[in-house]
Structure 1
C-alpha cells in the first residue's frame, strides 16, 4: 500500500513539474510574440518616417513602392491577436493569421528597403531601423526555439497527457505558417 502511495505521489510531482515546464515554455513564446509585435509595428512606423518627402529628397518612393507600403499598412491590423492563447492557438486561429501577417510585413519591408535609395535617407533613423530589423530576427529566433521546446514537450509522453489535461497545445512556428 505504501509503495502505491509513494508511486502516486511521485507521479503527481512529476506531472506538476512537467506542467510547470510546459507553462514556462509557453510563457516564453508568448513574450517573444509580444516583442515581435512591437518590433514590426516600430519598423513599419519608422520606415514610413524614413520615406517621407523632404526638400533634400522630394520623391523618395515610386508609385509602386508607395502602393506596396500602403498594402503593408493595411496588413498591420491583421497581426493583432487579443484572444487568450488557448483560443487563438488553434488551426487557422488568430495566432496563425498574426504570424503570417508578421512574415508578410517583414518580407515586404525588406523588399522595399532594398529598392529605396539609402543615400538620401537620414542616417540615424536608418541605423535605428536596421537595429529594429535585427531585433526582430533575434526575437523570431527566440520564439522559434521556445516553440520547438514547447512542441516537443507537448508531443512526448508524459507531456502529451499533461498538456491535454492543462489545455496546452503546440504553437505554430514561423516557417510552418502558410502565407
Structure 2
C-alpha cells in the first residue's frame, strides 16, 4: 500500500471525527449561552420582584402568605446550579416557571385591591414585569432552539458515539407546565 493512500485512510476519518466533535462542542456551548441569556432575563425579573412585593405589601396585608411564598420562590430561582448537569438545569428552569405562575397569581389577587390597582407605581411595575416576562419568553425560544440542535447532534448516529466519548449530554427543554388540568384563578379564593 502506498504511503499516500495509507495517509488518506488515516487522516480523512480523523478530520471528519474532529469536525463532528467541534460541531458538538459548539452546539453545547450555544445551548449554554442560550441558558445564560435566560439567566440574564431571570435576573432582571429577580431584581424587579422585591420592589413590586414591597409596594404590594403596603396594601395587601391579608396576602402575607402569598408574598412570602413569592419571596421563597425568588430565592430558589436565584440559587446556583451546574449548567453541565441536565437535572440541575431542569430544576432551575422549573423554579423559574413556578415563580412565573406565582406572579400571575399575585397580579390576579392584586386586581381585587382598588388602592393598589390605582397606584401608578404598581401599574408601572406590572408593565415592567410584563416586559421582563416577554424577554424571558424570547430567551426561552432561543434556548429551546439551541437545545434542539444540540440534542439532535447528540442523539443521531454517529454523533451519539462521539458525544459519549466527549461526555456531551442532551440538555432539557424549557417546557411550560401542563395547565390543562388547572382551573382559572379565582381571586375570591385568596381573599377569604
Query: Are 1:135 and 2:129 matched, yes or no?
Result: no
Residue 148 of structure 1 is matched in structure 2 by: 148
1:51-130 paired onto structure 2 within 5 Å? 51-53=53-55, 58-59=58-59, 61=60, 63-64=62-63, 66-79=64-77, 80-83=79-82, 85-86=83-84, 88-89=85-86, 93-117=87-111, 118-122=117-121, 123-130=123-130
Unaligned stretches of 5+ residues in structure 1: none
**Over alpha carbons, which structure has the higher Rg?**
2
Residues in 1 aligned to 2:93 and 2:43: alpha-carbon distance in whole angstroms: 13
Residue 35 of structure 2 is matched in structure 1 by: 33
Residues in 1 aligned to 2:6 and 2:176: alpha-carbon distance in whole angstroms: 44
Q: CA deviation digits over 1:108-144, x for unaligned, max 9?
A: 2223223323442424433322221111001111111
Residue 20 of structure 1 is matched in structure 2 by: 22
Cα RMSD between the aligned structures? Answer: 2.7
**Are the structure 2 counterparts of residues 120 and 13 from structure 1 closer, same or farther at C-alpha, using a change threshold of 3 Å?**
same
SS in 2 for 1:171: coil
Query: Are 1:47 and 2:49 matched, yes or no?
Result: yes
Residues in 1 aligned to 2:16 and 2:140: alpha-carbon distance in whole angstroms: 31
Residues in 2 aligned to 1:176 and 1:6: alpha-carbon distance in whole angstroms: 50
8 Å Cα contact 2:163-2:169 kept in structure 1 = yes
Q: CA deviation digits over 1:15-72, x for unaligned, max 9?
A: 2222222222211221222222232233243133134348xx951x3534x4233223
**Are the structure 2 counterparts of residues 141 and 23 from structure 1 closer, same or farther at C-alpha, using a change threshold of 3 Å?**
same
Aligned length: 169
Residue 164 of structure 1 is matched in structure 2 by: 164
Residues in 2 aligned to 1:115 and 1:12: alpha-carbon distance in whole angstroms: 62
**Are the structure 2 counterparts of residues 21 and 48 from structure 1 closer, same or farther at C-alpha, using a change threshold of 3 Å?**
same
TM-score by length of 1: 0.78
**Are the structure 2 counterparts of residues 75 and 101 from structure 1 closer, same or farther at C-alpha, using a change threshold of 3 Å?**
same
Residues in 1 aligned to 2:118 and 2:106: alpha-carbon distance in whole angstroms: 15
Residues in 2 aligned to 1:177 and 1:111: alpha-carbon distance in whole angstroms: 15
TM-score by length of 2: 0.74
